[in-house]
Amino acid sequence: MHVYLNTRVSLFKSRLWPEAQVSELIDVSDAALPGLLERRGLRQLAGGYADDDPRSLEARIVAILLEETRILLRPLTGAARQFLLYWIGRFEVSNVKSLIRAKMAGESASATAARLLDLGYFTHLDADALMRAEDVAELMRRLERTTYAEIVRNARQAFEESHDPFILDATLDRAYYDGLIRRARAIEPEAGPGFGRLMADLIDRLNLVWLLRYRFNYGLPPAQVYYLLLTPGYRLVPSLLRTLVGHDDLAAVLAGLPEALARPLVGAAAIPEVSARLERVAMDHAGTLLDRDGHPLARALAYLILRESGLRDLRGILRGRRLGLPTGDIRLAAGV
């Protein structure tokens, strides 16, 4: 299993776009763009470049990720396989959220269907039946009879009491990542420190960004913010989180962070900046892990993280080009 997965990941590594190639994508002419995408193995995106529907681009990116995950899943069994399946389940949780939002907005079933991602092999939900639920309460009860019962149950109870879409969204997110942490903890002893580091980068970033957003954008009290965070996290341990949620401004929170998290955030003044900087650090760690010898599952996860981030950058560039934004702006947004 290890040899096959490692070889697969090493081969997949050539699909990641180095900065120079991303830069070329910004500078190339419109006529040459589909050819360039095709040469770099993104035939799926090349075909749809002229498409006016931005969602189809997202759907195609997800299709690429699903296909590559399916290949990486082949040699995996047991808890490692469960973890990767759950990891890719994010897209279906996103479908669950789309279904709920559509139902809240009273959208028609066909409009809702257009929003949903086609997950093919990874589909668990009968979206057709779910779309035809009469209201949010009925939808949630139906969802509780699916594989996402664990994630939806708490959200339904909270929503019934409050009818607050924010609570619903936050509870769903937290429940999903709680499940991810649980599955990761089960394989961390075997998958090694590299895997733990990837999870720490992801979970600590989410925790910090949620904390800042809930506390200072939504003005929630510290106790409620703490309840919405992922505990136990990694470097942001519960005792530290309890202290951090009590601070009254962003600077104080950042000052209270452990050294490893505080270093890249020196001078950060806004929440998006905090998120972007931590994401950059996480990508650097994933890149280093991918280049080194390590546990194949950790390398596979690093690859998937980098691939997803890379594809989303490409999406940004393609959208920017389609909207006719100046090259400088696209370059700035893409970070090249």
Partner 1 sequence: MFKAKPMLKVELLCLASETQEMALLLARHGGFGPAGKAGVASGEHYRELYLEAAARLDKIMEYCGHHDAAPIPDDAIAPNERELAGINHRLQEIWQACSGCHEQETRMAEEKERLAMLRETYARLSTLAVDPARLLRRDGLLDTRLGQIPAGNLKRLGDALSVAGYLLTVFDRAGDQAFVVVAGPRSEDGQAANRLGGLLTQAGWRDLPVPPELRTDPSVAARYLESEHGRLEAMVADHCELRQQHWQQHALWLRQAAVLLTLARPLAESSLLGLSGKGQLAVFSGWVPEGAAGALKEALAERFHGRYLLVTHAPGPEDTGKVPSLLTYPAWLRPFTGLVKSYGVPRYGEFDPALLFAFGYVLLFGAMFGDVGHGAVLLVGAMLLHGRLAWLRWVGAAAGLASIGFGLLYGSVFGYEALIAPVWQSPMHDPTRMLWLAVAFGAGFISVTLLINIYNRLSAKRPGHAFLAGDGLAGLVFYLAAIAGLSGLLAGEGAGVLSAVTAGLALIAMATWAGREASGPVGERLVVALVESLETAINLFANTLSFLRVAAFSLNHVALTLAVFTIATGLDTMGHGVAVVLGNIVIIVLEGGIVAIQALRLMYYEGFSRFFAGDGVEFRPLKLVLQEKRSGA
Q: Kindly list the residues in this chain that would bind partner 1 in the complex (CB under 8 A).
A: 4, 7, 11, 14, 41, 108-110, 125-126, 128-130, 132, 134-135, 137-138, 141-143, 145-146, 153-154, 157-158, 161-162, 164, 167, 170-171, 220-224, 226-228, 231, 238, 242, 245-246
Least CB distance to partner 1 at residue 31 (A): 25
Write down the least CB distance from residue 316 to partner 1, Å: 26
Residues 268, 260: Cα–Cα separation, whole Å: 15
CB of 290 to partner 1, least distance (A): 16
- Between 229 and 281, CB nearer to partner 1: 229
CA distance 88 to 92: 8
Count the neighbouring beta carbons within 10 Å of the beta carbon of residue 49.
15
- Which residues, at least 6 apart from 177, have a Cβ–Cβ distance to it below 8 Å? 203, 206, 230
User: At which residue do the structure tokens 């500078």 appear?
Assistant: 27
Q: Please, which residue, 14 or 29, has the CB nearer to partner 1? A: 14
Q: Are 139 and 99 in contact (CB under 8 A)?
A: yes
- Decide whether 242 or 331 has the Cβ nearer to partner 1: 242
CA 96 to CA 323: how far, in whole Å?
30
The contacts of residue 86 (CB under 8 Å, 6+ apart) are: 179, 180, 183
In the complex, the smallest distance separating the C-beta of residue 12 from partner 1, rounded to whole angstroms, is: 9
- Whether the upstream peptide bond of residue 296 has omega within 30° of 0, thus cis, is no
Which tokens is 269 given?
């003044």
Nearer to partner 1, 153 or 319 (CB): 153
Contact yes or no for 142/198 (Cβ under 8 A): no
Of 2 and 141, CB closest to partner 1: 141
CA distance 271 to 212: 7
CB of 75 to partner 1, least distance (A): 10
Given the complex with partner 1, which of 134 and 259 has the nearer CB atom? 134
Q: Measured from the CB of residue 115, what is the shortest distance to partner 1 in angstroms?
A: 15
**Under 8 Å between Cβ of 286 and 9:** no
